[in-house]
Structure 1
Amino acid sequence: MAKLLPVTACLAALASPAVAQSLASYTVSGDGIEQPLTDMPGDAARGRALVAERSSTCILCHSAPLPEVRFQGDLAPNLAGAGSRWSVPQLRLRLVDAARLNPATIMPSYYRTDGLERVGRTWQGKPILTAEQIEDIVAYLATLRD
């Protein structure tokens, strides 16, 4: 039960969920999602801004090479070198639905709305991030190489 508290705290910090939308379909292949969720490539600069903002919740649990951001998290792996540790498809799945890889994870499923437990009324039926935001964050994380 104590493991759920950080997720609750992270979700409470978000300003608002993504607007209700039709979720892009995706196919999980092995430990990744090969195809982007959008027709447009992600923008690494927008992805960096999203990771740095507390509204995405990334920085609440992870630390990252963002020297301007104070009080970064230490509950989850440091994002420095993420692009060396994981491929783009692997990064995409970790954002879309990390629980698929590790059912005990405290990381939220940022682009899944079904089969979730303990979802606040404001969040029901809505992803935390849009498909575009997922792709932007993936583009940024892919640039983080050792």
Structure 2
Amino acid sequence: MIFRRGVIAAIFLLAGTSISNAEIIAPENVTIVDGEVAMSLTGSAGNAEAGATVFGNKKLGNCLACHANKDMIKQLFHGDVGPEMDGVADRWEPQQLRAILVNSKAVFGDETVMPGFYSLEVGQDVRKDLIGKTILSAEQIEDVIAYLSTLKE
């Protein structure tokens, strides 16, 4: 009886997962209009705490490599290639931040060194195991947007 309940729960869990995955906008289907991506990539708002983890993690977003951020002052090696993140929520709307994170080159032009974190347009000489993959997932993008939205002056 316990096994049967577990199987039924697993089926419902998997069904829920597939429904939520159906809401995710695939990278090739994201549209940037006037420097904005209006809709959430996942159909829901992100988690700011998870976004802070992605932002500061060198194996995920590695955003600190280019952007100083007083909110993470205890972490070492803040970069100065990109703008400071202090007050970013006062300068950009979430839909603008989403476009920048998805594909910064579509917003700022090809000269920007910022990668497109949810784009398949990754340039030349990509490792074969990374072809067709994004740097961050749709959920991670939404989490970073939620975190950046907390950074006000």
Q: TM-score, normalised by structure 1?
A: 0.79
Range moving further from structure 2, 109-118 or 87-96:
109-118
- In the alignment, is residue 33 of structure 1 matched against residue 37 of structure 2? yes
Equivalent residues in 2 for 1:89-104, closer than 5 Å = 89-101=95-107, 102-104=109-111
C-alpha RMSD of the superposition: 1.8
The 2-side partners of 1:99 and 1:114 are apart by: 9
Residue among 39, 45, 64 paired with 1:59: 64
1:71–1:127: structure 2 CA closer, same or farther, 3 Å change rule? same
The answer to whether the 8 A contact 1:26-1:35 is kept is: no
Q: Which has the higher contact order (CA 8 A, sep 6+)?
A: 1
Same amino acid, percent of matched pairs? 33
Residue matched to 1:50: 54
Following superposition, the deviation at residue 76 of structure 1 comes to: 1.0
Following superposition, the deviation at residue 116 of structure 1 comes to: 2.9
AA aligned to 1:112 is S
Residue matched to 2:79: 73
AA aligned to 2:52 is R
Residue matched to 2:118: 111
The 2-side partners of 1:62 and 1:53 are apart by: 13
The 1-side partners of 2:99 and 2:125 are apart by: 21
1:130–1:104: structure 2 CA closer, same or farther, 3 Å change rule? same
Q: TM-score, normalised by structure 2?
A: 0.76
Give the number of the structure whose alpha-carbon radius of gyration is greater: 2
Q: Which has the higher helix share?
A: 2
Consecutive unaligned residues in structure 1, runs of 5 or more: 1-20
Consecutive unaligned residues in structure 2, runs of 5 or more: 1-23
